[in-house]
Amino acid sequence: MRDSWRHFVAEFIGIFALVFVGGASIMSSAMSQNTNGLLVAAIAHGLILGIMITATMRISGHLNPAVTLGFLAARRIEPMMAMTYIVAQLLGAAVAAYALKAVFPPEIAVATRLGGQSIALGISTGQAILCEFLATFFLTFVVFGTAVDPAAPKVGGFAIGLTVTAGILAIGPLTGGSMNPARSFGPAVVSGILEAQAIYWVGPILGAVSAALLYDGLFLRRGRDRADHGAVRPV
């Protein structure tokens, strides 16, 4: 039971930081009318994710329901532990959105949807799902290639953070570059704007599961993690 709480709290803190810092970067750019808002958001998301994954990966380090479901599909985490992770991720994201609502002026909170994502005009549902699928596929592939594989380079979470930065730069103008259902869920629920939430679940989950199964089945030839501990790296 104590072990489950350690995982829960680590995931809660990590996703809270991602949603708060990522959302704050978007809201601050809106306040200052920064014309480089996309670059600011990409760097902020990448930095905080890399830092928090490095800080939590000894215990958990997923910070993303899609990644957790990828681990579940590859049988690298037990279903009950995966559920613990996902509940912590969604709760942490929602609490972070409430914190953003408390910190920023109401007009900025409304204008930016608390730093949430939206689909650009002219982008179809299928195109948006494909964008999120591809970006999350790359993200999860990097998670397995740098944090799961026993032969991976010891770079902490920074390669993962850089992948998120690149993903936001690539598809941010189209979908906001979520790659993380919890990142989209928290601000959407607190702002009351649930538009396109299905896209931010379907695309990332399909992308993460595909990448996890591919890497696990094709590239990993050594022993697996214990299924009950749930951490990113093998022990």
Maximal CA-CA distance, the chain:
53
The reply to whether the predicted model has a pTM over 0.85 is yes
Tens of pLDDT, residue by residue over 44-73, are 999 999 999 999 999 999 999 999 999 999
SS3 191: helix
How many of the other CB atoms lie within 10 Å of CB of 93? 29
Element containing residue 89 per DSSP (H, E): helix 79-103
220, amino acid identity: L
What residue spans of 113-196 are helical by DSSP H? 125-143, 158-175, 181-191
Lowest mean pLDDT among 87-101, 133-147, 158-172, 218-232: 218-232
Residue 65's alpha-carbon distances to 15, 69, 99, in angstroms, are 10, 6, 21
Contacts of 124 (CB under 8 A, 6+ apart): none
SS3 226: coil
Domains of the chain: 2-218 (1.20.1080.10)
Tens of pLDDT, residue by residue over 112-171, are 999 999 999 999 999 999 999 999 999 999 999 999 998 888 898 999 999 999 999 999
